[in-house]
A and B are shown apart, each in its own frame.
Chain A
Amino acid sequence: MSQSFILVSLICCLPFAGMLMNLWLKKYVAYISTLVLFIINILVFFFISQHETQIETSLIWFKLQNFTIDFNYYINQDSILLLPVVSIISFLVHVFSIGYMAHEKSLSRYFNGLLFFTASMLLFVCSGNLIVIFLAWECLGLASYLLIGFYREKTEAGFASLKAMLLNRLSDLLLLSAFILMFAYYQSFNLNEIIDSQQTLPQLVGWMLLLGVLAKSAQFPLMNWLPSAMTGPSPVSALIHAATMVIAGVYLMIRLSPILPLSVLHGLTTIGSLTAFLGALAATQQFDVKKILAYSTISQLGLIMAAVGIASPQAAILHMVSHAFFKAGLFLGVGALIHYLKDNRVNRETNAQDIRNLGALYKSYPYTFYTILIFSLALCGIPFTSGFLSKEYLLTQAWNSTNSLSIFYFVFIILTSTITVIYTTRLIVYTFFNKRKENFNSAASEKKRVFLFPLIVLSIASFWWIININPFHADFYFFSKTKFITPVWLTIGSTLFIPILFFFAFRYFNSREISNSPNRLLLQGFALDDLQQKLIVQPTLLIGNLLLSIEKKWIDGFIHAMAFATVLFSHIISFLDYWLVDGFVRMTYKASYTLGGWVRVSRSGYVQHYLFWFLFTAVLFIIWVLF
């Protein structure tokens, strides 16, 4: 067994050790979990520093007739990039949670959920077997389900988790069947063998894969679970619903992209671009801070997904990495803000997440403000941020690509980026600038120092230097040096366009009250909830009730009728038996009885009677003989 095999296995299994420790030392769950994540980070960096991407070792998991299913890892450039992203953000979220969840009950449930999630994500990133990938994939869903519904008392949290799980299940089952069909096609579940075979997937399987990742990556039309998933704790939203789990679908597509047929790639671009645009549009009309961010995530995920479609997985990975950091930061920052505001409410009823209740908070919460500002600028793609570079890379790839849909995608990136600047500015202005609302005590302070560490680390990771030393050239350190030339007009154009747009948007929003009449369709995220409810859920329930009543009426009714008929028939038989069969017997008996009765009359005991009968018979006899 190679050393790196053991190392990766250790990385994936450590969270479980942490969970066991948590069961044992209930008082220190937060610290134990954070420590475990810290160790995982060290191991991950040790593993990466070895530069070993080929892990040959595989264990036999089980044998099914002629097939041996191995447990193995498939590590490549993409996994090497994603591993530290997952472990770092998970670690920071753990640190943040120490402060954020300090006063919650059932802390161990929370941290065990996070650990379980981290383990599944790490396994998902590394695994090289489709069954294990599916297992990890479902565990991600389960962790998400449990953590969305963490506040079990809240009814809406329950429904949000239910919705997330069901939509994901719908997609997952298609993914499972795609995997099985891949097995039938390649005769293997081993990702190494499948990719090495270099055989393109059949169309049908490819499309099933595509549909299979839609829900997990919150793509149109299965995206509506993500906004409602925001009922979970904010750190969970940062880790699961912004930075890591939601990119699982894209990541899977990236891994399989060498064997995806062209039509599926086109499908990815189309759905991705559409999702990016629609998500961004919906984000402009939300009032809930976290929902703005949720739609923003959907929109950015769409961009990433579409990048896979134009056969540029590198661009997708790059934007995935930069997005993971600043979006996690945004969620944590907003989470910190909400946490502070909740304690400072004048009126207990005030919703601290509604931007209509916020305003002019930059003075009261300076650290939170500055970090959120950095993340927002990165999201908009202002120069000198990581977001600028990764978007530039996306644009360049779209421009240079020979794919027939790339121009369409190019236009959608520009459109989406424009709207992104608008909704981000709207969020910043109505939260930190504009007019002050008297909903919160002014004497507020940022008491929780533990929030600062993750926020500062993440904001450091939101600048250009995590991608390239040159702030205007997105040549990522880790990519093999290919010829990569950004058209000069593109760099200059985006350098100028986005800050100017930001400036005007800022002035526009700062000069007026928030519009209280949003577009209803956009506010409700294109009414997907209603549509699914009316078109799928209600008919399903109706059919269920119908089937039950049909069963009661017809199947059971038939049986009851049979039983009744049998009983009736037996009554008839018994009637006939009594009157006909038994009747005949009784008749015989009655007849002989009656006859006997008559005869008996003759036996009266008087001699004269006997004499009479004797003479009578004798006379009859004589008459009979004579005539």
Chain B
Amino acid sequence: MELPLLTLLILIPLLGALLILLVNGDKLFKRIALVVGLLQVLLFGVIFFQTSLNSNTIYLSEKVNWFTLPLGKSGVLQTHYHLLLDGLSLPIIGMSILVLLMATFASQEITNKKKGYFSLLLLLNASIMGSFMAQDFLLFYLFFEFMLLPMYFLIGIWGGKRREYASIKFFLYTLLGSLLILVVLIALYMSYGQGANPTVYSFSFDMAQQSNLLQADALLHPNNVSGIGGLSLRTWAFIFLFIGFGIKLPMFPFHTWLPDAHVEAPTPISVILAAILLKIGGYGLLRIAYPVFPSEALQLSFWVGLVGVVSIVYGAWCALASKDLKKLIAYSSISHMGFVLLGLASAQAEGIAGVIYQMVSHGFISAMLFLLAGVLYVRTHDRKIAHYSGLHQVMPVYFSFVLIAFFASLGMPGLSGFMAEFFVLTGAFMAGGSQAIIPFVFPMLALVGILLSAGYYLWTIQRMFMGTFHTSLSIEKSVFTDLSLQEKMTLVPLAILVFVLGLFPQVILQYINPFIEQWMSVVFPASAISL
């Protein structure tokens, strides 16, 4: 029998969490979590090298029936346990596994209630794996929702001073988004079915392309003329999904949970939040919202692009004004995730490729940024930019890594962030040119965002690192020790990946390209765009 590799990816952290609950011993917990992470890396390596890059865009798939629910006269609801690895999930899963391992490794600042911390971390790990692989909407929703629970406690228990406020804000915001998604989920389950007497209703993401499964009398059938407020129900469904996933992304104006959550969360949780959880927003849009409602998405491209561009510029501007290092990075995340929306709005293959690239690249870069912010916080328990200057004198190696991370984030060519934003911009400019899907001014405004990002990063370097060493905190100079071996070990792999993705984009483009080709043919076939 073939090993269910994808299920194992979810099962390993779950078993790890269980094991942590069973054993005792302060040092054991982290070791178990690390072993789990390493096993996942190993497993992913096996999957990575097993997959052949043929015409097939689906690399691995596991599917069994889950449960059925009779729906009275009309039919039966059938759900599936369906996991899948394709050109979209493979790069993101790879990034997540690596970042999760680094975050586990960097958990030295957690000193109390380790048992709870590491078991929650592994629970989070399992639900992340699940949501990036689930192909059945209900299964996806289950994993997606379940992520909230460990995250809520991880911020609420091990966070900073205002942790309760931050965790509740995070929870409620995301819950609001989830509810919007839930509405669409139910509608979709009621719309897609097979056969008659009884009709078997089900919805997995690959069904979006099979319009024959859409029941004629369904609420979300394109022929359904009834609408609310002048918009068709399908448009509303798209808007619900857009906002639901947009909150996760996060997009302006639903972003204010992010800076608070980041500032209060402990370093490894910030890393996971920025690098992985935000990606679920973009992932959901790519996986669900766009394939299911392509024509609605195309109609609303202007608004999607607008929200994206506003997020880019707004986030960058707020970052410029932020006085807390972590807050600055949080706002820069908002700014960079705006590119996801801009790329989607462009409806061009290049733009969509850029979206996936951006999600992977930002995963590594933001992980690095938050780890670096954590390095300083562990030493001084203070993150105010104005409290430091001339740090290059006491922490030269740290400064080198900061330079790499900052320049990667501000879009220096040769580093991964540039490639991603370059693809998105290419898509956006092309969409703005002949086809006029989004106005030409959008990519130009995105450039303003990139310029601002250069502004806030370089200014931060100027303020914190240049000049002669000085700190306005009443602490000894000896506190400012350079990077420890452990910190280097977490940063070096990320830095290498940032370089590799910046110089050799083919490494993941070879997985993204066939996926995009197929995706475009379903979502935006040439005929749809020319309309």
Contact = CB atoms under 8 A, between A and B. Distances in A.
Given A177-B425, A544-B320, A551 B256 contact: yes
Interface string B437-478: 000000110010011101100110110011110000000000
A169 interface: yes
Given A65-B516, A142-B407, A169-B454, A153 B425 contact: no
Contact of B429 (A64, A181, A543): A181
B208 to A, nearest CB: 21
Given A63-B509, A158-B467, A544-B318, A559 B256 contact: yes
Contacts of B468: 153
Contact of A62 (B414, B452, B509): B509
B300 to A, nearest CB: 22
Range of interface residues on A (Cβ < 8 Å): 35 or more
Specify which of B318, B349, B425, B455 lies most central, judged by the most chain A CB atoms within 10 Å of its CB: B455
Contacts of A446: none
Contacts of B504: 62
Contact of A173 (B393, B451, B467): B451
Contacts of B454: 165-166, 169
Nearest to A141: B412
Interface in A173-217: 173-174, 176-177, 180-181, 183-184
B349 A65 contact: yes
Given A158-B466, A541-B321, A548-B318, A61 B506 contact: yes
A419 B434 CA distance: 49
B423 interface: yes
A85 to B, nearest CB: 24
Contacts of B467: 152-155, 158
Interface stretch (A130-138, A296-304, A313-321): A130-138
A141 B120 CA distance: 45
Contacts of B465: 152
B392 interface: yes
Contacts of A13: none
B525 interface: no
A115 to B, nearest CB: 15
A544 B317 contact: yes
Contacts of A181: 429, 433
Contact of B320 (A66, A139, A540, A556): A540
B390 A153 contact: yes
A138 B317 contact: no
B254 to A, nearest CB: 9
A231 to B, nearest CB: 12
Interface in A509-568: 540-541, 543-545, 547-548, 551, 555-556, 559, 563
A323 to B, nearest CB: 28
A29 to B, nearest CB: 16
A342 to B, nearest CB: 20
A173 B318 contact: no
Contacts of A166: 451, 454-455, 458
Contact of B444 (A170, A177, A543, A548): A177
A18 interface: no
B17 to A, nearest CB: 32
A540 B452 contact: yes
Contacts of B407: 142
B430 interface: yes
Nearest to A185: B433
B40 interface: no
Range of interface residues on B (Cβ < 8 Å): 35 or more
B430 A184 contact: yes
A83 interface: no
A169 B433 CA distance: 24
B205 to A, nearest CB: 22
A174 B407 CA distance: 18
A166 B320 CA distance: 14
Contacts of A131: 413, 422
A84 interface: no
Contacts of B505: 61-62, 64
Contacts of A138: 412-414, 418
Interface string B504-523: 11100110010011000000
A81 interface: no
A157 interface: yes
A333 interface: no
Given A155-B466, A184-B430, A551-B256, A544 B517 contact: no
Specify which of A61, A63, A166, A176 lies most central, judged by the most chain B CB atoms within 10 Å of its CB: A176
B70 interface: no
A362 interface: no
A544 B321 contact: yes
Contact of B422 (A65, A149, A176, A555): A176
Contacts of B444: 177
B370 interface: no
Contacts of B451: 166, 169-170, 173
A460 interface: no
Interface string A151-164: 01111011100100
B322 interface: yes
A149 B349 CA distance: 41
B482 interface: no
Specify which of A541, A551, A555 lies most central, judged by the most chain B CB atoms within 10 Å of its CB: A551
Nearest to A149: B466
Interface in B310-341: 314, 317-322
B353 interface: yes
Contact of B349 (A66, A139, A162): A66
Contacts of B462: 158-159, 162
Nearest to A563: B172
A64 B256 contact: no
A135 B318 contact: no
A162 B452 CA distance: 13
Interface in B355-408: 390, 392-393, 407
Given A176-B425, A545-B321, A152 B466 contact: yes
Contacts of A63: 506, 509-510, 513
A546 to B, nearest CB: 8
A383 B468 CA distance: 49
Interface string A119-155: 0000000000001001100110010000001001111
A165 B451 CA distance: 10
Contacts of B455: 166, 540
Given A64-B350, A177-B425, A555 B253 contact: yes
B335 to A, nearest CB: 12
B174 interface: no
B114 interface: no
B221 interface: no
B239 to A, nearest CB: 20
B426 interface: yes
B57 to A, nearest CB: 14
A155 B461 CA distance: 12
A541 B322 CA distance: 10
A216 to B, nearest CB: 14
A268 B450 CA distance: 27
Given A66-B349, A177-B443, A184-B430, A541 B390 contact: no
A166 to B, nearest CB: 6
Nearest to A132: B413
28 contacts: A61-B505, A62-B504, A63-B506, A64-B423, A65-B350, A65-B353, A131-B422, A135-B413, A138-B413, A149-B466, A155-B466, A159-B462, A162-B462, A165-B458, A169-B450, A176-B422, A180-B425, A180-B429, A183-B426, A184-B430, A540-B320, A540-B455, A544-B317, A544-B318, A544-B321, A545-B321, A547-B317, A548-B318
The 9 A-B pairs of least Cβ separation, nearest first, read A544-B321, A158-B466, A135-B413, A65-B349, A544-B320, A62-B506, A169-B454, A173-B447, A62-B505
Given A131-B422, A166-B458, A551-B318, 14 more contacts: A62-B506, A63-B506, A149-B466, A152-B390, A152-B465, A157-B466, A158-B466, A173-B451, A540-B452, A541-B321, A543-B317, A547-B318, A548-B318, A555-B253
